[in-house]
Amino acid sequence: MDIVDLFKKGGPAMWPLLALSILSLSVIFERLWFWLRILSQEKEIVNRVLDAARVDWASASEIARQATRQPIGRFLYAPLSLPKTDPETFRLALEATAEDELAGMRRGEKLLETVIALAPLLGLLGTVLGLIQSLRSIRIGDLGTESTAGVTTGIGESLISTAAGLIVAITTLAFYRLFQGIVVNQVKIFRRAGNDMELLYRQSPPDLTNTTPEKRVIPSTIIRESPRDNLNSPRKKGRRPKLSETPELPPESDLSEPKDSQ
């Protein structure tokens, strides 16, 4: 008996079960791809940022900025992107970003919970409908005769929907628990990385005013001398005055002391 025949014999409840299984598989494959990309690079990003922070906060900020495609990169870059921070602001930035990233990691869990709850109920509903249809054809006078053999066959076929619902629910529940375990592990990783980052901050607070991407490199074309520098520049201090600018001296007779009038 192939799958198509089982699907047809399962009754009308097999169609919503098919829709639930497609939704569940789509979420499962999407989450598997999401976690494979994260778990393969997460530890490396944390180690690089923390190692750079022990030496130079500007390098750590740049490494975290380049890793913002990953949740751990956005988590570590959040406090480093602030122009001015204090220990309390540094911690609040880490906590707020961690909540947002962990909420994104739990995406799809509600849909999986819905499939886990509905799939067995739909399978049971299909079984009940199949039993009702099978028992309708039973007559009291036919009990114990060969005519009731078809009824037992119909009852067996009506249990197909229950089995299908249980298979969908069990498969979804297994991956749901797997993803929950990964999220719990992520909470520990985020907490450990945040504590290490905050400890380094308290030991040697960085000057983050010039570590933002916009202020990290100042082009030489926008550097201008201030008016005060122009007035006190060596070139203008050492230049010779023009003849027209030389002040006229009074006559020599005027420079001598005035004689007493007779």
What's residue 85's pLDDT? 79
R_g of the chain computed on alpha carbons: 40
What is the mean pLDDT for each group of 10 consecutive residues in the chain (262 residues)? 80 92 96 93 94 92 94 94 88 93 93 96 91 72 53 73 95 97 95 94 70 41 38 43 46 45 38
Confidence at residue 236, expressed as pLDDT on a 0 to 100 scale = 41
Contact call for residues 114 and 233 (beta carbons, < 8 A)? no
Structure tokens at 237: 């201090």
Question: So what's the pLDDT on residue 204?
Answer: 83
Helix (H, G, I), strand (E, B) or coil at 151: helix
143 φ, ψ (degrees, to nearest 5)? -65, 135
In the prediction, which pLDDT does 241 show? 46
pLDDT at 59: 93
pLDDT at 133: 78
pLDDT of residue 119: 96
Is the entire prediction scored with pTM above 0.75? no
Q: Are 211 and 61 in contact (CB under 8 A)?
A: yes
Q: Would you say 101 and 76 are in contact if contact means Cβ atoms under 8 Å apart?
A: no
pLDDT of 220: 37
Helices (H), the chain: 3-9, 14-39, 42-53, 57-66, 71-80, 87-105, 109-136, 149-203, 227-231, 234-238, 252-255
Give me the pLDDT at residue 232, please.
Answer: 44
CB 90 within 8 A of CB 244: no
